[in-house]
Amino acid sequence: MSTNTENSSKEEICTCLRLVCNDGCQHILPYGHLLHGILGDGNGTIQLTFATKTVEIAGWNLEGIFLAVKEMTRDTISISTHEEIAAADTAAAAKTSPKAPTAPPQVVRRIIVRDRDEA
């Protein structure tokens, strides 16, 4: 009997990224086709360029999502629920309180996938 604990503390590498857009349309893009990524606008936008598609993701505090895509450990990105957005709004309003700082929630408001020749 052998046990493999070598990767037990690491996240698994994903081969594809599934995107669930605002209109409910789903795209599956292979990480092997990812050419370029940009985190911009104060961590509020991510732009990804794949071999045949460009992806724009907009929201708040997207750095964690960007890093997971960079490390190929994120398998799905979808639009945040109304409850997640409300919780983020509440957290932003409470940010002025002197309590211990907490990590701001990630909110995905928009995902747009286009063919590269349309971009």
Q: Per-residue pLDDT tens for 7-54?
A: 334 678 999 999 999 888 999 999 999 999 999 988 899 999 999 999
For the segment 83-107, the average pLDDT, to the nearest whole number, is 72
In sequence order, the 6+-apart residues with CB closer than 8 A to the CB of 79 are 20, 21, 22, 108, 109, 110, 111
Domain that holds residue 43: 16-83+108-115
Residue 92 lies in a domain: no
Confidence (pLDDT) at 87: 81
Specify the range with the lowest mean pLDDT, choosing from 22-26, 85-89, 105-109: 85-89
Residue 91 lies in a domain: no
Q: Are 20 and 78 in contact (CB under 8 A)?
A: yes
Residue 93 lies in a domain: no
Residue 28 lies in a domain: yes
What is the dihedral angle through the alpha carbons of 112, 26, 18, 104, rounded to the nearest 10 degrees? 50
Residue 50 lies in a domain: yes
For the chain, the domain total comes to 1
Residue 70 lies in a domain: yes
Q: What is the mean pLDDT of the chain?
A: 84
Residue 75 lies in a domain: yes
Q: Which pLDDT band holds residue 4 (cuts at 50, 70, 90)?
A: very low
Confidence (pLDDT) at 82: 85
Residue 47 lies in a domain: yes
